[in-house]
Amino acid sequence: MGNTGVALSADENALYYNPAGLGAVDSLMLNLSFLLEIPAISELQSAQEKLSDGTSSSIDLIHIRGLGSFSAILPFGKTFTVGGIYSLEYTYDLNASIDTSSTANTILNSSIGLGVREDGNTRVGLAIAPGTGQWVWGIQANTVKRREQPFTTMAFKDISKDLTSDLSKLEALLQLASDNASGKANSTLTNDNITDIKAINDSITNLSSSELTKSAESLITCFNTIKETNSYSLGFQRRAASASWLRMTFGVVAHNVGHVQFGSSDNCPRDEMVEYDIGFSAQPRLGPLRLLVAADIRDFTYANANDAYCFENKGKPGCFQKRFNWGAELGFLPIDSGANFISVRGGVSQNRLTWGAELNPFIFFRFLTIEYAHYTESMGQEAGDQPNTRDVIQLRFAF
pLDDT for res 186? 65
Q: What is the mean pLDDT of the chain?
A: 85
Give the integer Cα–Cα distance in Å for 283 and 261.
38
Cis preceding-peptide flag for 269 (omega within 30 of 0): yes
Asked if CATH classification 3.30.300.210 holds for the domain at 14-160+207-398, the reply, yes or no, is: no
Amino acid letter at 92?
Y
For 270-321, how does the pLDDT look when each residue is reduced to its tens digit (9 = 90+)? 889 999 999 999 998 788 888 999 999 999 999 988 888 999 998 898 999 9
pTM for this structure?
0.81
Give the integer Cα–Cα distance in Å for 103 and 271.
43
Q: What is the H or E stretch that residue 53 is in?
A: helix 41-53
pLDDT for res 121? 97
pLDDT for res 189? 64
Asked whether the predicted pLDDT for residue 361 surpasses 70, the reply is yes
For 128-148, how does the pLDDT look when each residue is reduced to its tens digit (9 = 90+)? 998 878 899 999 999 999 999
Q: How many CA atoms lie within 13 A of 315 on its CB side?
A: 0
From the list 47, 39, 34, the residue with the least C-alpha distance to 90 is 34
Cβ–Cβ < 8 Å for 5, 17: yes
pLDDT for res 384? 86
pLDDT class of 165 with cuts at 50, 70, 90:
low
For 43-56, how does the pLDDT look when each residue is reduced to its tens digit (9 = 90+)? 777 767 766 665 55
Please tell me which residue, 215 or 314, carries the higher pLDDT value: 314
Backbone torsions φ then ψ of 244, nearest 5 degrees: -60, -25
Q: Which residues contact 124 (CB under 8 A, 6 or more apart)?
A: 82, 83, 84, 140, 141
pLDDT for res 55? 52
For 93-116, how does the pLDDT look when each residue is reduced to its tens digit (9 = 90+)? 988 877 666 555 566 667 788 889
